[in-house]
Structures are given as C-alpha cells and as structure tokens.
Amino acid sequence: MDSGPPYPPKYVMLNDQGNPRHPPHRRHIPRYHSHNHGSGGRCCLKCICCCYCLLFVLILVLFGTAFFLFTVYKPQKPSYNVGHVEVKAFNIQTDLSLYTEFSVSVKADNPNDHIGFIYGKESSVAVLYTGATLCSGKLPAFHQPGNNITSMNILLKGKNEFGSGLQETLLQNQKKGKIPLLITVKAPVSVVIAGFPLRQVVVSINCSLVVDNVSPNQKIGILSSDYAYDIAL
C-alpha cells in the first residue's frame, strides 16, 4: 500500500511553494560580563606591600649608614668653656641706663679625629644679670678641623636700662662678692664628615657663672660655673 506524501514536521516554516523554509538567522544577544572586583583589590594590596617593603629597605639603609658612621668615625660631642671674663666698662649713666663692655674668652674643643665643624655667621653672645641683658656680640664665623682647640676673645658691648632696683641688687651682690651672670651663646653649626658638610643645626649654650666682682679693669674670679646645651634642628 503506497503511503501519501510525507507531512512536514511540526513547527516547520514553509515558503510560498510549500517547501520548507530555512529559519531566519538568529540575532546574537550581547552578553554583559560583570566586572571582576577581586583583581582591583589584589592590585591595591600589592601596592601596599611594595610601599611597606620600600619603607623597610629605607630604614635598613638608614640604620646601616648610622652604624657605619658610628663605627668608623666614632663621633664625640664638642665641649665649650668660658676661660675668663674681663670688664672693660661698667658705667651707670645719669638717665639710669648702664653702658657695659665685656671681653669674654670662649674655648671650643673638638676631640674628633675625622669630624669637623663649620660655625656660621648668624650667631649671638650675650651677658645677662637677673634676666636683664648687659651687653651682646657675635662669634666669628670659622671652620674648626678635627682634633682641634680654638680659643676666641669676644668683645661685647651694650647700653640698656638699669633701674634703681637692679642697682640695689647689684650693690648687695657686690658686697657679698658673689654676682650671678648668665652668658648665652647661639650659633649655627654644620657637621663636616669626609669633607662634606651635613645639615646645619643651631647650638645653644647657657653658661651660669658666679663671679666675685664686675669692677672695670680688675681681675675677675669665677667662683662657679654650670653649662647647659641644646640643639635645635
């Protein structure tokens, strides 16, 4: 028994002649890929780790350099001393002002063999009595080599108000033979290592003295002295 013409399968599209028609081309639907947030976090973590590693290496280099300098050069701090004080003028004027001239001998001792110091121009030296400035001056600018002792005679001059209260206090101290004076020194100093000057610092020295008199052109005895040092970066 002959079978009839085959029926087209279900869901097949036919053309005008009744023949199957190819399905139309499918449209490609774009796919949206989500961003990978994990990679950005890992990159940031790597940057942080690199920064910490660089910081650690820098600290090691600084400590290594400091250890090398201390081992090879064996730095020692310089010492300062006021040798003598000479009063050239101590005159109370009619307007209750005081004119003074002091000559102060300062000795700087550098015990280092391979370390020098450069003392800059912007320095100051002053003599004070109970907080009142009597006279002032400057240190000379100079370069002090290693293993050297430098002595300087500094002339200080000043004219300041000197009231009756200070005069009475000074007369009492003069009678007792114990006059307290304060000598202050400030100087910019650069450390020189192997011929290379390092960063400049400001060295401050306070020398508290007790002298037996302040009479002009007489020998002055220093009864006691006390030194305080400070360094400002």
Output the pLDDT for position 194: 83
Model confidence pLDDT, tens digit, residues 157-206: 999 888 888 888 998 999 999 999 999 999 999 999 988 899 899 999 99
My answer on whether 150 and 55 are in the same domain is no
Residue 28 reports pLDDT greater than 70: no
My answer on whether 151 and 227 are in the same domain is yes
**Residues 6 or more apart in contact with residue 116 via CB below 8 angstroms:** 110, 143, 144, 145, 146, 148, 191, 192
My answer on whether 100 and 185 are in the same domain is yes
My answer on whether 59 and 120 are in the same domain is no
Residue 210 reports pLDDT greater than 80: yes
| Within-domain flag for 33 | no
My answer on whether 42 and 118 are in the same domain is no
| Within-domain flag for 1 | no
Model confidence pLDDT, tens digit, residues 113-147: 989 999 999 999 999 999 999 999 999 999 999 99
| Within-domain flag for 228 | yes
Domain stop point among 14, 47, 72: 72
My answer on whether 137 and 202 are in the same domain is yes
For the domain that residue 129 is a member of, what is the CATH number?
2.60.40
My answer on whether 118 and 211 are in the same domain is yes
Domain stop point among 51, 72, 93: 72
126, HSE (Cβ side, Cα atoms, 13 Å): 16
Output the pLDDT for position 151: 94
My answer on whether 61 and 85 are in the same domain is no
For residue 137, give its domain range.
79-232
| Within-domain flag for 185 | yes
My answer on whether 152 and 67 are in the same domain is no
| Within-domain flag for 21 | no
48, HSE (Cβ side, Cα atoms, 13 Å): 6
Model confidence pLDDT, tens digit, residues 38-79: 555 677 888 888 888 888 888 888 888 777 777 777 889 899
My answer on whether 129 and 170 are in the same domain is yes
**Residues 6 or more apart in contact with residue 158 via CB below 8 angstroms:** 99, 100, 127, 133, 134, 135, 136
Q: Model's pTM, two decimal places?
A: 0.71
Between residues 2 and 66, which one has the greater pLDDT? 66
Q: Domain count of the chain?
A: 2
My answer on whether 51 and 109 are in the same domain is no
Residue 34 reports pLDDT greater than 60: no
Tokens 């947030």 -> residue = 37
The answer to whether the CB of 89 falls within 8 A of the CB of 98 is: no
Residue 4 reports pLDDT greater than 60: no
My answer on whether 54 and 124 are in the same domain is no
Output the pLDDT for position 23: 61
